[in-house]
């Protein structure tokens, strides 16, 4: 029997909030049932299992992140676009660490194809068009940006930059400057 007010969307949003509070790895259907003070079995009319819940949270996070990035990129180009894009990822990860972790969740091919992941790739490639990169360099640059953004954010969230000066915000700004310089002067093969 489905409980009044419980829907897959409501459970997904509650799961995303839970992920931000306790960490994405700790999100389970059992923990969500405790949150709503219902039996686990009552959630199975809305969710298949914990993997389904995590997939739904990942899809939500990818969508939220893509929406923020699209809004931030509107009317921007070159370094301004690169900086806006990077800042969206960093800010989202800091505001929603569990959801950010969910955005890294490995999706099955069907879910990945239906996700906002493609929008992220399109936006990254749109930014790179301002740097006149052609294939395969554009793909290398997409991977570079993803690696640098994710690596910096992950280290920062884990406290890896909190032990010494200068402040990580200064390092972030310098990282974006360095990426812009690299992209403008991309090395020939």
pLDDT digits (tens, 9 = 90+) for 170-180: 999 999 999 99
Tell me what pLDDT residue 2 has.
Answer: 46
* pLDDT in the model for residue 1: 39
Please state the pTM of the whole predicted model: 0.91
Q: How far is CA 135 from CA 141, 148, 182, 185, in A?
A: 10, 20, 16, 15
pLDDT attached to residue 37: 87
C-alpha 12/C-alpha 132 separation (Å) is 40
Tell me the torsion sign for CA atoms 152, 61, 117, 73.
negative
The pLDDT value given to residue 3:
53
Task: Report d(CA 51, CA 58) in Å as an integer.
Answer: 10
Give the residues of the chain that fall short of pLDDT 50: 1-2
Q: Which tokens belong to 129?
A: 């068009």
**Alpha-carbon gap, residue 67 to 189, rounded angstroms:** 35
- pLDDT at res. 108: 92
DSSP per position, 78-108: HHHHHHHHHHHHHHHHHH-HHHHHHTTS---
Q: What is the pLDDT of residues 41-69, one digit of tens each?
A: 888 889 898 999 999 999 999 999 999 99
């Amino acid at each position: 029997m489905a409980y009044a007010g419980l829907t897959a969307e409501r459970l997904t949003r509650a799961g995303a909030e839970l992920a931000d509070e306790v960490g994405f790895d700790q999100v389970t259907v059992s923990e969500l049932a405790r949150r709503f003070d219902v039996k686990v079995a009552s959630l199975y009319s809305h969710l298949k299992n914990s993997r389904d819940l995590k997939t739904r949270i990942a899809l939500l996070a990818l969508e939220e992140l893509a929406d923020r990035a699209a809004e931030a990129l509107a009317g921007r180009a070159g370094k301004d676009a690169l900086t806006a894009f990077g800042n969206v990822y960093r800010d989202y990860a800091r505001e929603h660490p569990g959801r950010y972790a969910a955005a890294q969740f490995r999706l099955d091919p069907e879910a990945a194809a239906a996700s906002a992941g493609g929008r992220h790739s399109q936006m990254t490639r749109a930014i790179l068009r301002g740097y006149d990169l052609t294939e395969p360099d554009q793909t290398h640059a997409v991977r570079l940006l993803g690696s640098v953004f994710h690596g910096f954010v992950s280290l920062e969230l884990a406290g890896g930059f909190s032990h010494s000066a200068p402040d990580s915000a200064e390092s972030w700004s310098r990282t974006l400057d360095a990426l812009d310089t690299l992209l403008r002067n991309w090395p020939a093969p």
